[in-house]
Amino acid sequence: MSASDVEERPFALRRTAAFDFIEGLNRTKEALREQGFDIATTLDASGALGGAYTILGVSDADLLRRAVEADPDAAALLPCSVAVHGDDDGIVVEAVDPTATLGGVGNEALGALAAEVRARLAAALGRIPAGGR
Condensed to tens digits (0 to 9), the pLDDT of residues 96-127 reads: 999 888 777 788 998 999 999 999 999 999 99
The pTM for the full model equals 0.90
User: 26-79: per-residue pLDDT in tens?
Assistant: 999 999 999 999 999 999 999 999 889 999 999 999 988 999 999 998 888 888
Class for the domain spanning 3-126: alpha beta
Q: In b/e form, how buried is each residue of 36-55, taking b as 16+ CB within 10 angstroms?
A: ebeeeeeeeeeeeeeebbbb
